[in-house]
Structure 1
Amino acid sequence: MTKDSSLGMTRRAVLGAFAATTMIAAPTYSNAAGFLRGAGDVRRLRMTSPRTGERIDTIYWIEGDYISDAVKEINLFMRDWRTNDIKNIDTRTIDIMAAAHNLLDVDEPYMLLSGYRSPKTNAMLRSRSSGVAKNSRHLRGQAADLRLGSRSVSQMFRAAKACQGGGVGRYSGSNFVHMDCGPVRTWGR
């Protein structure tokens, strides 16, 4: 973190102050596709992790630029909590998550069930479930499994699908939606 000696403020504090004013003025997007094409000035991601007890609420993109410190925080947050391995999360996946959240018009943060998965974790999960792909996009930092208490799996699925940015899986029985930046496709019930 850099510090502006004349003001005594950290870069994070400046961004926080900026975010507080710009989020109020930020437009509401009618669809995620426009959002993903850069129609907005600010992109924000809010999540909690039931596995680690951590929370994140960060502005990661302003005026066409990703904020590297914020993206690093997201990478750390979305790490494999079983092994503590960290992978760079594909910013396209982060954008899809943020766009879908915006379409859902909620203040509630996502609950992150699974972000990056190490090969060891993915192999263990595959041995326990037929629903875990051998070459999962989680292994590449290109996927997230998410839940919201205030929205149904169907509502989340429709919002993510509207983004047309990648794969969207509906897991109604387990109460989560999978979002990734791979080819546009859908699956699940």
Structure 2
Amino acid sequence: MYSGRTGESINMIYWIEGNYIKEALDEITYFMRDWRNNQVKPIDARTVDIMSAAHNMMDVNEPYMLISGYRSPETNAMLRRRSSGVAKNSLHLQGQAADLRMKSRSVAQMARAAQACNAGGVGRYTSSNFVHMDCGRVRSWGS
């Protein structure tokens, strides 16, 4: 992944032979922090699993561009004031969601790959060109 907000990138193996690598998950957590205020909350490995599985299904070399990972309550409230599409109890607040974009894949292609995981929520935000993936209950929205 890379972040257009911070200019940082991350590329690592976070899971080997059935075991998560704590140091890798810690690095992912920092990378996916709330870039507006640098607040950090552990990122749920299930969300990373969904992101990784969807990426593998798309058979691409391009990294995801992270739009939003963890969101602090202050950031989520500010975004809610600006947009009706931001949930009050967003899973971003729990470190369980990511908003992602790719140049080489459409929102529809990314969403189909994430939905094929049958493992969480998938939101299509075509007009903003990103897909929301989370480890909550299986559901989908947007067009």
Q: After TM superposition, is the score higher than 0.5? A: yes
Unaligned runs of 5+ in 1: 1-46
Residue 77 (str. 1) matches residue 25 (str. 2)? no
Match of 1:138? 92
Instruction: Give the whole-Å Cα distance in 1 for the aligned partners of 2:55 and 2:76.
Output: 26
TM-score w.r.t. the length of structure 1 is 0.75
Instruction: Give the whole-Å Cα distance in 2 for the aligned partners of 1:99 and 1:143.
Output: 15
Match of 2:42? 88
Q: 1:175 aligns with which of 129, 132, 137?
A: 129
Aligned partner of residue 112 in structure 2, secondary structure: helix
TM-score w.r.t. the length of structure 2 is 1.00
**How far is the alpha carbon of 1:172 from its aligned partner?**
0.4
Aligned partner of residue 112 in structure 1, secondary structure: strand
Aligned partner of residue 124 in structure 2, secondary structure: strand
Match of 2:55? 101
Deviation string for 1:126-176 (max 9, x for gaps)?
000000000000000000000000000000000000000100000000000
Instruction: Give the whole-Å Cα distance in 1 for the aligned partners of 2:35 and 2:17.
Output: 32
Deviation string for 1:1-33 (max 9, x for gaps)?
xxxxxxxxxxxxxxxxxxxxxxxxxxxxxxxxx
Q: Which has the larger radius of gyration?
A: 1
Aligned residues: 143
**How far is the alpha carbon of 1:55 from its aligned partner?**
0.3
User: What are the residue-to-residue correspondences of 1:52-71 with 2, within 5 Å?
Assistant: 52-71=6-25
Instruction: Give the whole-Å Cα distance in 2 for the aligned partners of 1:143 and 1:87.
Output: 12
Amino acid at match of 1:149: K
Instruction: Give the whole-Å Cα distance in 1 for the aligned partners of 2:61 and 2:124.
Output: 22
Match of 1:111? 65
Match of 1:32? none
Instruction: Give the whole-Å Cα distance in 2 for the aligned partners of 1:72 and 1:58.
Output: 12
**How far is the alpha carbon of 1:69 from its aligned partner?**
0.4
Instruction: Give the whole-Å Cα distance in 2 for the aligned partners of 1:150 and 1:49.
Output: 16
Which structure is higher in RCO with an 8 Å CA cutoff and minimum separation 6? 2
Unaligned runs of 5+ in 2: none
Deviation string for 1:108-131 (max 9, x for gaps)?
000000000000000000000000
Aligned partner of residue 84 in structure 1, secondary structure: coil
Sequence identity percentage? 73
